[in-house]
Amino acid sequence: ELKVEQNPLFLSMQEGKNYTIYCNYSTTSDRLYWYRQDPGKSLESLFVLLSNGAVKQEGRLMASLDTKARLSTLHITAAVHDLSATYFCAVDMEYGNKLVFGAGTILRVKS
Amino acid sequence: DVKVTQSSRYLVKRTGEKVFLECVQDMDHENMFWYRQDPGLGLRLIYFSYDVKMKEKGDIPEGYSVSREKKERFSLILESASTNQTSMYLCASSSWMGYTFGSGTRLTVV
């Protein structure tokens, strides 16, 4: 059974600081997603990572994937208040047939 | 713009009521899913379906059932709602290209 562990579960950051969210998963998979969720809203897809060594960047967020270590990271550079949200990683077991989520990281950026 | 539409954003139901949560997608996707979201637990899969009239249990199916009579519609049913089913419910559909989520239904059972 696939398990996805995400840490930390809660992250309080000062504006301008850097930090990393970690996502470990227990079995091989086809794809890994990172999502953002604002309070009361649905999920917004941030990144899809397909292969070992994949790195994607959008603004102050960068995601990477190490399939051998079964680890993905979401790195936040020079955080700003607008990045405050809940971030989820999710592992796709069979190309669209099942998505297993981590518990989510609540990010609060303080000015 | 492709969509997954959940019929209600907010619902308040009484304990013991039968509750229907509706989800419709317009992308001709084969796969549809119902997730439940609770703080600190992420999204947990309740049921999923890979085809019309087909359903499979997810990780937490107890107290729920589903119906998929048409390809575009996937309904989640709470046969007798209980307070521990108060939660946010998210529907999704997928193809090999990826997943699309609905906007969610926040259900409160009183």
Q: How far is CA B71 from CA A68, A94, B49, B55, in A?
A: 37, 20, 10, 12
Closest by Cα among A92, A6, A18, A64 to B95: A92
The angle at the Cα of A38, spanning B27 to B86, to the nearest 5 degrees, equals: 80
The pLDDT score that the predictor gives to residue B96 is 83
- Residue-wise pLDDT for A41-64, tens only, equals 889 999 999 888 889 999 999 999
Determine the average pLDDT of the residues in B74-103. 94
B44 and B57 Cβ atoms separated by less than 8 Å = no
pLDDT value at B2 more than 70: no
CA–CA gap between residue A3 and residue B17 (Å, rounded): 34
CA–CA gap between residue B21 and residue B107 (Å, rounded): 9
pLDDT band at A30 (very low <50, low <70, confident <90, very high): confident
- Residue-wise pLDDT for B6-58, tens only, equals 989 999 999 999 999 999 999 999 999 999 999 888 999 999 999 998 999 99
- A30: alpha, beta or left, given left = phi > 0 and alpha = psi -120 to 50? alpha
Q: Which residues of A touch B95 (CB under 8 A)?
A: 96
Determine the average pLDDT of the residues in A75-100. 91
- Best probe of the B interface among A2, A23, A43, by most B CBs < 10 A, is A43
pLDDT band at B1 (very low <50, low <70, confident <90, very high): low
CB atoms within 10 A of CB B95: 15
The pLDDT score that the predictor gives to residue B44 is 95
Please count the residue pairs, one from chain A and one from chain B, whose beta carbons lie less than 8 angstroms apart. 53
The pLDDT score that the predictor gives to residue A93 is 79
CA–CA gap between residue B77 and residue B37 (Å, rounded): 16
CB atoms within 10 A of CB B57: 14
Q: Which residues of A86-102 are buried (b: 16+ CB within 10 A; e: fewer)?
A: bbbbbbbbeebbbbbbb
Strands (E), chain A: 4-7, 10-14, 19-25, 31-37, 43-49, 55-58, 61-66, 71-76, 85-92, 99-101, 105-110
> What average pLDDT is seen over chain B?
94
Q: State whether residue B33 sits within 8 Å of chain A by CB.
A: yes
A20 and A107 Cβ atoms separated by less than 8 Å = no
In terms of DSSP bridges, do strands A71-76 and A61-66 run parallel, antiparallel, or are they unpaired? Answer: antiparallel
Nearest to A96 among B31, B44, B106 (CB): B31
The pLDDT score that the predictor gives to residue A41 is 87
Nearest to B94 among A4, A42, A96 (CB): A96
